[in-house]
Structure 1
Amino acid sequence: MNVNNGITGSNMFTIGLFSTRWPVLMILLISITACGGEGPLGLGKKESPDEFAVVSHSPLAVPPDYSLRPPRPGASRPGERAVRDVAAEELFGSSRNKPIKRSAGEKAILTGADALSPDPNIREKIEKKFSIYEEEEEGFFQSIQFWKKGSDEESIIDANAEADRLRENTVQGKAPNEGQIEAIREAEKSLLEELF
């Protein structure tokens, strides 16, 4: 005896259809409302700055003090250095090249780090040290061409001659890798292999 609490087959179908219809409709409605509208996710108008109101420089403003003296014709600018000062610095050097007076603590730290007596040939030593690595390392393009790691010359082995060589090695008791391998010709390279 089948007991289904008074629900017939057609009623069960409509209940099952009805129970899956609402979640599907809700998902569709939410996704449709998210696609429309004027702003992000349809939640309002997007506020962006006016492209004509945005300027790269601040606008000119009249200073509140109108008693500023106008510049005199031919007078030097306030931020400009005198030609005499520039020439003296070029001839006699700047004050930046003068030796720095160091405290006893600074001298102790620099002496401990061996920074007070630098090696005059340090550039040559560094160049010599790292030029060894440059010769050993392969270039960038050689490192990414993984398919060319083997020998540059590829050849096709003559199958009959190789079989004869292996038989002779077996009869003579030699290892299979002893002897000269006979090659028919070099393998033909494809267009891409020739380019790379």
Structure 2
Amino acid sequence: MKIGSFLIMAATAGFAAVSLGGCSGAKRAFGMEKIAPDEFTIVTKAPLVLPPDYSLRPPRPGAPNPSFVEPERKAEYALFGSEGLSENPQGYTGGEMTLLDTAGASSATSDIRQVLNSETASLVEKDETIAEKILFWQQPAEEAANVIDPKKEAERLKDAKTPADAGDGQKTGSKTAQAPKEKKKSWFGGIF
């Protein structure tokens, strides 16, 4: 009896191992398994190479890196091999060069972006963004209406002919001088 239960357990374990192994294989076969790149095989720059004579040459200011290969050239080499590389270093055909010469590409100014920006600077108007509209929805109150002009107030008091009556909220001649009252603002006062 012990041998039979041992065989059943061994068969169950073997079946589980095979079926679980098949699941990952099936995922890989259907493209459902994520295959992460190996971080040690990814290189952003070309590896350093020692010169053949082992003596270092001083770098020239402004000179391009001799080991640098343009990405377009790398892509051409990867796709077509050495026979697919273009003979023209700029990559332009004769027809493209004729088109560029006819269009005046060789005589184009290099600071065209600055020229256009200076010409259209007067046309640019700053629009309020939605965030500015939401954050600064309430316009500032006009304080000029609440401030009393001292010269005009002095003239008004002279015209009143009774300076003793010139008090806050009291009659001054035929006119009344009252301090402006501010409205008490509610939370939803500016919305409705």
TM-score after normalising by structure 1: 0.29
TM-score after normalising by structure 2: 0.29
Select the structure with the greater relative contact order (CA < 8 A; seq sep ≥ 6). 1
Question: Per residue, is there more helix in 1 or in 2?
Answer: 1
